[in-house]
């Protein structure tokens, strides 16, 4: 199995003015590409891993030789997380709000969409250094907000991703410099709530 870099589901400039095209080019064509190449290198040198689905590799890191576990975490995680991340956004011009079962789920879990957004924002702000902030669903179908360090995914914790934002400085530094709060605030304007709802319904087995 050789993994490929997925094309963005929109143009590089489609997220502007929330995320600038230069950031999107660097983030997708350089950073995501680098995780992909190192993942493919890992699989090439460990052919027994190559037939496992990526989600299975990520959810069970002990399946890989100890010497490869950190590389697996970093690069397969980086590859997988960015695949989810691009799909979690939509063009700035395409206005969108949470609806339907996801809206109900957010209101049940957090009181309101505004409370959810505030808690997600605070979790992203409190997370020290690089990583990700996630909306996930657990095995009891409960929505939760969690953060992970570096390129760790939530799969090893038996959580299913619904929405995620990238807390690495490479995601925002060109435009927002050190102002992570500004980036997190603006990001809601490019969130793809339809994708989040689709993941939510799939995770609940609807
Ligand atoms: Mn990134």
- Give the pLDDT score at 1: 65
CA of 74 to the centre of ligand 1 (A): 12
Asked if the model's pLDDT at residue 175 lies above 80, the reply is: yes
CA of 176 to the centre of ligand 1 (A): 15
Where residue 150 falls (left for φ over 0; alpha for ψ -120 to 50; beta otherwise) is left
The three-state (H, E, C) secondary structure of 87-136, written as one string? HCECCCCCCCCCCHHHHHHHHHHHCCHHHHHHHHHHHHHHCCCCEEEEEE
pLDDT tens sequence across 116-170: 999 999 999 999 999 999 999 999 999 999 999 999 999 989 999 999 999 999 9
pLDDT tens sequence across 15-26: 999 999 999 999
Reading the block at residue 4, the tokens are 């490929």
Cross-strand partners of 160:
137
Angle (deg, nearest 10), helices 77-87 and 33-45:
140
Percent of the residues in the chain that have a pLDDT greater than 90, as a whole number? 83
Residues 6+ apart with CB under 8 A from 153: 58, 59, 77, 80, 81, 161
CA of 170 to the centre of ligand 1 (A): 6
CA of 171 to the centre of ligand 1 (A): 5
Nearest to 68 by CA among 32, 31, 41: 41
CA of 168 to the centre of ligand 1 (A): 6
Q: Is 85 helix (H, G, I), strand (E, B) or coil?
A: helix
Residues around the ion ligand 1 (C-beta < 5 A): 166, 168
State how far the Cα of 105 lies from the Cα of 100, in Å rounded to an integer: 9
pLDDT tens sequence across 65-82: 888 888 888 999 999 999
CA of 166 to the centre of ligand 1 (A): 6
CA of 78 to the centre of ligand 1 (A): 7
CA of 32 to the centre of ligand 1 (A): 7
CA of 39 to the centre of ligand 1 (A): 15
pTM, full prediction? 0.96
CA of 100 to the centre of ligand 1 (A): 30
Angle (deg, nearest 10), helices 113-126 and 180-187:
150
């Amino acid at each position: 199995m050789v993994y490929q870099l997925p094309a963005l589901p929109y143009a590089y400039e489609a997220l502007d003015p929330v995320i600038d095209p230069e950031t999107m080019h660097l983030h997708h064509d350089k950073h995501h590409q680098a995780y992909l190449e190192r993942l493919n290198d890992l699989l090439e040198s460990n052919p027994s891993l190559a037939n496992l689905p990526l989600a299975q590799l990520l959810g069970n890191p002990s399946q890989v030789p100890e010497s490869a576990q950190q590389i697996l975490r970093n690069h397969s995680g980086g590859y997988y997380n960015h695949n989810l991340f691009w799909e979690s956004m939509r063009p700035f011009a395409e206005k969108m709000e949470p609806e339907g079962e996801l809206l109900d789920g957010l209101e049940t879990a957090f009181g309101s969409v505004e409370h959810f957004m505030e808690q997600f924002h605070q979790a992203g702000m409190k997370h020290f250094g690089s990583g990700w902030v996630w909306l996930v669903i657990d095995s009891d179908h409960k929505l939760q907000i969690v953060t992970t360090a570096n390129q760790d995914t939530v799969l090893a914790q038996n959580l299913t991703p619904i929405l995620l934002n990238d807390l690495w400085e490479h995601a925002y530094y060109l435009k927002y410099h050190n102002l992570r709060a500004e980036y997190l605030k603006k990001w809601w304007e490019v969130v793809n709530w339809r994708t989040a709802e689709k993941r939510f319904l799939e995770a609940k087995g609807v």
